[in-house]
Amino acid sequence: MKISIVSFLVSACVAVGVSAKMVPGYNQTRRPQVHFSPPVNFMNDPNGLFYYNGTYHMYYQYNPTGITAGNQHWGHATSDDLYHWHNQAIALSPESPDEGIFSGSAVVDVDNTSGFFGNQSSSNPGIVAIYTLNTPSKETQNIAYSTDGGYTFTKYSGNPVIDIDSNQFRDPKVIWHADTKKWVMAVALPTQFSVVFYTSSDLKTWEKASTFSHHGWLGNQFECPNLVQVPVHNSQQQNSGEYKWVLVISVNPGAPQGGSFTQFFPGEFDGTHFTPEDDAARWVDFGKDNYAMQFFYGTQNKTLGVGWASNWQYTNIVPTSPWRSAMTLPRQYALWNDPVLSWQFISNPTDMSTIMKKNLFSGKVTKSQNIKLGDGSGAYYFDIYVSQDQGQATQRANFTFISSSTKEELRIGLLMDNGPFFFIDRSGTKGFDYPLFTDKFATIQYGGIGGWHVYGVLDKMILETFLNEGEQSATTTYFSNGVLDKLSISLDSGLSATVNVTALSSGWDQ
């Protein structure tokens, strides 16, 4: 079942009284082309990510009637490669205006443990969504089931499945724990800085197992917990064959950079209790625009995830229309115990071969180079390896994306002063001015053998950068008035760079 973009837009526009003749496409100046965004209106957290039979399903927090947060439904999209998306009909809707279908997850109930699916064949198993129902008086955990592969859902008549009479109790993430042969739910008690674990045999009856509380960076509340097994890399950054559990917790407000951010805890999970390696606070992303990340259910030995590319400090007022917000690139995750930095959550974009279009530049730069960006959708992949031939404390390497029409700049680079530091500077883009829209970010970037590896994607309003094979990453939104159509490279004496830039095709070419 696939609904066309036009059909989806018409139904959404009817809800807000917009003429079908005004339905937009995906070609607005600031519209991302390889990051998912909704056709119209407001989107935030990814929900219910799962993969089955060749198709990735992504649900998301969605307001079908406005361009600011509220009126929470579950929007829905599907993809074969995580870059080309098909918009689907809204999957879950509230029953009354004072309800909201808040964040949650989805699982493939292959063995019909829930009993919802009768004689449905194993080749077409049922899908169970687990979500928070928000009302004026409380937040409860509810379930719904789908017999058509996740396109339409029936709410369970016995809802709620967990009710602790609290108005701060949300965002259930459910996984299957093979060793104990039970479902495990991680759900947040936000203002208690806690994640509670429940177990169940049938997804309907849940038993409280343990509480993980007051660890890491507290901020003002915990949200969107995710528990996942992750492959561990060895010192050569290759899969060691080992796996370790990771608990991911989002914090909002109160992040170190301000507003929203996501932290992770490597550790062990025995089916009821999570034990972290230590109590350190570790960032998933050193930028300011990666929140509420969730992992796909059903991807076997690959740990794939998506986050919401925004920040609650300014998401309701950023200058995009007729939509607001996008998702991060889909990423594949691993762990590495760095001898200097301790546990690192390695992340890299998933296979981009289906959107690689044309190489624009490939070569070595020793001083300066200007690269014209074009022949694509406005989205670009860049891969830069900086070598230090002669070391000086004040050396800099600047890589600046420039608009020829407005002279706006988005700058990244390496600064050797007491570092080396990798920095991002979005202050040169002038389409959005707000006190909390922090304009500069930096992190220590320890080099590899003989140099530093920087790569990522520039996509209309989102810059994602990855350092040294994914040891660190940053997601940064920006809002320029002009199109960034040139990459200018400037290297101080003693530095050189091997540079590749590739134009990307649009995920919405279909």
pLDDT tens per residue, range 360-414: 999 999 999 999 998 889 999 999 999 988 777 678 999 999 999 999 999 999 9
* Model pLDDT, residue 378: 94
Residues 408 and 294 in one domain: no
* Model pLDDT, residue 120: 74
pTM of the model: 0.94
Task: Give residue 137's domain range.
Answer: 42-349
Whether the bond into 160 is cis, omega within 30 of 0: yes
Question: Which residues are CB-contacts of 49 (< 8 A; sequence separation ≥ 6)?
Answer: 56, 57, 58, 59, 105, 106, 294, 295, 296, 297, 305, 306
Question: Which residues are CB-contacts of 317 (< 8 A; sequence separation ≥ 6)?
Answer: 434
Neighbours of 62 (CB within 10 A): 26
Residues 171 and 271 in one domain: yes
Residues in the chain: 510
What is the C-alpha separation between 372 and 380, in angstroms, rounded? 11
Handedness of CA 144, 147, 153, 158 (dihedral sign): negative
Q: pLDDT digit string (tens) for 310-352?
A: 999 999 999 999 999 999 999 999 999 988 778 999 999 999 9
Domain final residue, candidates 349, 380, 411: 349
- CATH number of domain containing 256: 2.115.10.20
* Model pLDDT, residue 15: 42
Residue 264 lies in a domain: yes
What is the C-alpha separation between 305 and 491, in angstroms, rounded? 35
**What is the residue whose two structure tokens read 């809707």?**
93
Residues 288 and 396 in one domain: no
Nearest to 226 by CA among 143, 83, 77, 106: 106
Residues 227 and 328 in one domain: yes
Token pair in block for residue 43 = 């989107």
Beta bridge partners of 239: 233
Rounded to the nearest 5 degrees, what angle is found at the Cα of 167, between the Cα atoms of 163 and 170?
A: 70
Token pair in block for residue 293 = 């990340």
Nearest to 387 by CA among 498, 490, 466: 498
What is the C-alpha separation between 467 and 345, in angstroms, rounded? 12
* Model pLDDT, residue 122: 67
Residues 446 and 313 in one domain: no
Residues 234 and 313 in one domain: yes
What is the C-alpha separation between 70 and 61, in angstroms, rounded? 9
Cβ-in-10-Å burial (0-12, 13-18, 19+) of 510 comes to exposed
Residues 228 and 272 in one domain: yes
Neighbours of 65 (CB within 10 A): 15
Domain final residue, candidates 321, 349, 377: 349
Residues 339 and 375 in one domain: no
Rounded to the nearest 5 degrees, what angle is found at the Cα of 123, between the Cα atoms of 118 and 128?
A: 55
Residues 109 and 200 in one domain: yes
List residues with catalytic annotation: 45
Cβ-in-10-Å burial (0-12, 13-18, 19+) of 131 comes to buried
Q: Give me the number of domains the chain comprises.
A: 2
Q: Kindly list the averaged pLDDT for each block of 10 residues, start to end, along the chain of length 510.
A: 45 38 71 96 98 96 97 98 96 97 97 91 86 98 97 98 98 98 98 98 98 97 97 76 95 96 97 96 96 96 96 98 97 91 93 96 96 92 92 86 97 87 97 97 78 95 96 97 97 95 89
Token pair in block for residue 30 = 């600031």
**What is the residue whose two structure tokens read 């020829």?**
404
* Model pLDDT, residue 23: 42
Residues 457 and 499 in one domain: yes
Beta bridge partners of 226: 248
Residue 2 lies in a domain: no
Nearest to 153 by CA among 99, 110, 107, 91: 91
Residue 67 lies in a domain: yes
CB-based contact 218:251 (threshold 8 Å)? yes
* Model pLDDT, residue 12: 47
Residue 257 lies in a domain: yes
Token pair in block for residue 398 = 């600047």
Residue 173 lies in a domain: yes
Residues 489 and 427 in one domain: yes
* Model pLDDT, residue 448: 59
CB-based contact 456:339 (threshold 8 Å)? no
Residue 338 lies in a domain: yes
C-alpha torsion 169→272→129→63, nearest 10:
30
CB-based contact 459:373 (threshold 8 Å)? no
What is the C-alpha separation between 42 and 506, in angstroms, rounded? 21
* Model pLDDT, residue 375: 81
CB-based contact 154:146 (threshold 8 Å)? yes
Residue 307 lies in a domain: yes
What is the C-alpha separation between 91 and 152, in angstroms, rounded? 6
Residues 47 and 98 in one domain: yes
What is the C-alpha separation between 61 and 183, in angstroms, rounded? 24
Residue 21 lies in a domain: no
- CATH number of domain containing 466: 2.60.120.560
The residue type found at 64 is: P
Domain final residue, candidates 313, 331, 349: 349
3-state secondary structure of 414: strand
